[in-house]
Amino acid sequence: LVGIGAARVRDLFATAKKSAPAIIFIDEIDAIGRARSVGMMPSHDEREQTLNQILVEMDGFNPNEQVVVVAATNRGDLLDTALLRPGRFDRRVIVDFPDVEGRKAIVKIHAKGKPFDETVSWDRVARRTVGYSGADLENMLNEAAISAARVAREKINMEDIEDAATKVKLGPEKKRLQSDLDKKLTAYHEVGHAVVSHFLPHTDSVHRISIVSRGMALGYTLIPPAKDKLHETKTHLLERIAVMMGGRAAEEVIFNELTTGASNDFDQATSVAKAMVVEYGMSSRNKKNYYGRL
């Protein structure tokens, strides 16, 4: 089967030229367009042959052939530099998460054909879903519709959407059998996050606290961003770390004991702290140093 990828690329471009004007769209191009190995032995002959054929085809284009090649990826940092040279994929369009107005427009599109009651506010939904992609928003409304259908309710309400938004980000509820001690530990842990967030001046408001398991978590404290942000300050990042460690602090204060429940909090706090030093140059010792992504 070696060479099939390259042959299909040749057929694709030949078909596009015959059908011109035409657009060739390659989704997830990082699957075949990753940077090639630099050693003597290539890591994946078939993939590299396919990539090489794409480069050959794009170099052979005549501007009058009226064929446009477009590709999409979530990992532009992995692409082979040869793909990005002038005459190939030399124009980049970054599609970021939609802002509040974009989210409002997207949910209205996906809301068509679905019945909603008077409790639903699209302004509130748009503000509640900072950081959601278009696909997340579509999935959220579909899950909300399923939730209403399960209880034979004719219209979707705001609570359906709230639950669906949580499900999209944190996963479905899990019916884990927890002991009374586990529930108590989880409750104090989650309240620890909420208390720290409440008393710090630059954190966002707590939206929901639950000891219902979702994903791998036994509970969660939901603190969605109040608005879209283009920048983060050092103060806000430090307060985020403090909120992340609030659960562990509550365990120590209430139970005089440590549990494994804070492992994910440590992962997140470490990630933020590392980025502050390595990527953002916010170290107290070396404020002018920037190390780049490690």
Secondary structure of residue 68 in the 3-state scheme: strand
**291 belongs to a structural domain:** no
Cβ count within 10 A of residue 257: 8
267 and 195 in a common domain: yes
CB 60 within 8 A of CB 95: no
Distance (Å, rounded) from C-alpha 95 to C-alpha 74?
10
**pLDDT for residue 274:** 94
Name the domain boundary from 84, 116, 138.
84
Task: Select which of 48, 57, 143, 190 is catalytic.
Answer: 190
CATH number at residue 52: 3.40.50.300
What is the per-residue pLDDT across 127-167, written as a single tens digit (0 to 9) for each? Answer: 999 999 999 999 999 999 999 999 999 999 999 999 999 99
CB 279 within 8 A of CB 293: yes
What per-residue string of b and e applies to 75-111 under the rule 16 or more CB within 10 Å gives b?
ebeebbebbeeeebbeeeeeeeebeeeebbebbeebb
pTM of the shown model: 0.73
**pLDDT for residue 226:** 83
What is the per-residue pLDDT across 159-213, written as a single tens digit (0 to 9) for each? Answer: 999 999 999 998 988 887 889 999 999 999 999 999 999 999 999 999 999 999 8
C-alpha separations of 178 from 17, 181, 211, 213 in Å: 63, 8, 10, 10
28 is catalytic: no
Q: Which domain holds residue 207?
A: 174-278
- Using 50, 70 and 90 to split pLDDT, how confident is the model at 40? very low
**pLDDT for residue 144:** 97
Phi-psi map region of 275: left, alpha, beta (phi>0 left; psi -120 to 50 alpha): alpha
Distance (Å, rounded) from C-alpha 156 to C-alpha 120?
8
Asked whether the predicted pLDDT for residue 41 surpasses 80, the reply is no
Asked whether the predicted pLDDT for residue 267 surpasses 90, the reply is yes
**112 belongs to a structural domain:** yes
Lowest-pLDDT choice from 2-6, 139-143, 224-228: 2-6
**114 belongs to a structural domain:** yes
**73 belongs to a structural domain:** yes
78 and 115 in a common domain: no
**283 belongs to a structural domain:** no
**252 belongs to a structural domain:** yes
